[in-house]
């Protein structure tokens, strides 16, 4: 879970967090446009790092807690935190890409960091009907969570909304990972689980104006259980069945919310 305290952004900071979210969304989908048979994760990673640096900003993930790359690329049964490699994509794969962009500016005498963070699972060519349903449903779960992001609601309301979508389609719901608050140290409280039973053991949080929340369901075709790869990072489904991961970053405002990473209008997206 995030170790840093809740971050509340002031209205004067909203434009900078919007810019971080926009950049993260742009580079994510530019990488997605490159996904096709024969392309490698490392090619996407090199492109993303160069693109982010060309904008004058910093890849959030590279070096974060020792992670070696700009993108997390998780293929098929890999859920999250996959390390880009030279294994080429093939027809029928699904590719989860997660990317962060850090934007800095002088703020109150120091360099305050604004982080955009988002993820999407891209099909490579034609995928099976069951995998299409997995991708479509996980995106629906993401947007159900987004719609619960209202000041006055609680984090548990988000968790319930995501869980209801997953249960409705009888997919596995990853419980070991979830969404999070976003602050200058990237991950911060509150942790946002994708299931409601979490709150039998841990305190809930009220959603407050000025929060930036990363909503990120991870649904599996099979069981919810996970295993950790020997590389120390990659998280895989325990039964080696496919997994999907979608994520958006949401700014909570006095008059509603902004999905600041949604540069391609992904509400209602369906795998085809």
Q: What is the pLDDT of residue 108?
A: 52
| CB-based contacts of 243, cutoff 8 Å, min separation 6 | 74, 76, 77, 78, 79, 96, 134, 174, 218, 219, 220, 221, 237
Enumerate the domain spans of the chain. 11-259
Q: Where are the alpha helices (DSSP H) in the chain?
A: 14-34, 41-54, 129-147, 155-169
| CB-based contacts of 123, cutoff 8 Å, min separation 6 | 93, 94, 95, 131, 132, 135, 271
- Averaged pLDDT, 236-246: 98
Judged against a pLDDT cut of 70, whether residue 197 lies above it is answered with: yes
| CB-based contacts of 187, cutoff 8 Å, min separation 6 | 2, 3, 4, 180, 181
Q: What is the pLDDT of residue 111?
A: 75
d(CA 31, CA 33): 5
Sign of CA dihedral 78, 268, 195, 152: positive
Mind listing the pLDDT tens digit for each residue in 153-193? 999 999 999 999 999 999 999 999 999 999 999 999 999 99
11-259 belongs to CATH 3.90.230.10: yes
Sign of CA dihedral 131, 134, 138, 144: positive
Torsion of CA 266, 270, 271, 272, to 10 degrees: -120
Q: What is the pLDDT of residue 100?
A: 98
Judged against a pLDDT cut of 90, whether residue 105 lies above it is answered with: no
pTM for this structure? Answer: 0.97
- Is the separation of the CB atoms in 71 and 31 below 8 Å? yes
| CB-based contacts of 115, cutoff 8 Å, min separation 6 | 20, 60, 100, 101, 102, 103, 182, 183, 184, 186
Judged against a pLDDT cut of 90, whether residue 20 lies above it is answered with: yes
């Amino acid at each position: 879970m995030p170790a840093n305290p809740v971050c509340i952004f002031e209205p004067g900071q909203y434009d900078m967090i919007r810019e971080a979210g926009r950049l993260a969304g742009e580079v994510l989908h530019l990488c997605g446009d490159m996904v096709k048979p024969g392309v490698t994760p490392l090619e996407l990673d090199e492109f993303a790092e160069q693109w982010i640096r060309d904008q004058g900003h910093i890849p959030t993930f590279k070096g974060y807690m020792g992670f070696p790359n700009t993108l997390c690329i998780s293929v098929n049964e890999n859920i999250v935190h996959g390390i880009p490699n030279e294994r080429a994509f093939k027809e029928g794969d699904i590719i989860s890409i997660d990317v962060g962009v850090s934007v800095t500016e002088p703020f109150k005498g120091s360099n305050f960091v604004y982080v955009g963070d988002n993820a999407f699972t891209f099909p490579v060519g034609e995928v099976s009907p069951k995998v299409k349903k997995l991708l479509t449903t996980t995106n629906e779960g993401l947007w159900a969570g987004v719609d619960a992001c209202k000041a006055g609601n609680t984090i548990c309301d988000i968790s319930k909304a995501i869980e209801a979508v997953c249960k409705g389609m009888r997919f596995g719901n990853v419980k070991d990972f979830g969404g999070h608050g976003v602050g200058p140290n990237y991950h911060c409280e509150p942790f946002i689980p994708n299931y409601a039973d979490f709150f039998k053991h841990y305190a809930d949080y009220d959603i407050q104006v000025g929060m930036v929340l990363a909503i990120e369901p991870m649904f599996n075709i099979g069981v919810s259980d996970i295993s950790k790869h020997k590389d120390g990072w990659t998280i895989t489904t325990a039964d080696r069945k496919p997994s999907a991961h979608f994520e958006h970053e949401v700014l909570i405002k006095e008059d509603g919310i902004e999905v600041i990473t949604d540069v391609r209008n992904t509400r209602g997206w369906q795998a085809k």
